[in-house]
Amino acid sequence: MALYAISDLHLSFNTQKPMDVFGDDWEDYTRRIAENWHKKIKNEDVIILCGDHSWATYLEEARVDFEFINNLPGKKILSKGNHDYWWTTPKKLNDYCAENNFDTISFLHNNHYMYKDIAICGAKGWALATNIAEDKKIYNREQERLTLSL
């Protein structure tokens, strides 16, 4: 059993936001992700997905993206990214996964998971480079979530 981390999959199977507009390196990237994932990851491995999983705006739009993630080997622990607009309450996320049989996906949200003697915790990253009230509010909220996780 091994522990891995990856971020920024930016899946868009059910939305009109293809990543190849950002250059040739993104062409057919989901096939390459799956191919390399299957070469490296075993079912007993744990993978932390550190945000920006899907371009979907609403959870229902992310179904195909979740299917893709769920069908990859390993137990996946998802943390919220700044582009994960579909992210909702832990109960709704867990219910959604249960209803759709996404049984390899868990969420980091005011909680933690153990991998051997390592505690996995996290929150959405947010830069506080300005004095804008909305930025301060998000930063403080995510700091509190990280404290709760710890």
In percent, the amount of the chain with pLDDT more than 70 equals 95
Q: Per the structure block, which two tokens stand in for 69?
A: 């993630």
Q: Does residue 23 carry a pLDDT above 80?
A: no
pLDDT for 43-55, tens place per residue? 999 999 999 999 9
| Among 107, 102, 51, 59, CA closest to 80 | 51
Question: Got the DSSP string for 62-89?
Answer: GHHHHHHHHHSSSEEEEE--TT-TT---
pLDDT for 86-138, tens place per residue? 999 999 999 999 999 999 999 999 899 999 999 999 888 777 777 788 888 88
Domains of the chain and CATH, by start: 3-124 (3.60.21.10)
Task: List all residues 6 or more positions away from 105 whose beta carbon is below 8 Å from its beta carbon.
Answer: 66, 69, 70, 76, 78, 97
> What does pTM read for this prediction?
0.87
How confident is the model at residue 131, as a pLDDT?
75
How confident is the model at residue 22, as a pLDDT?
64
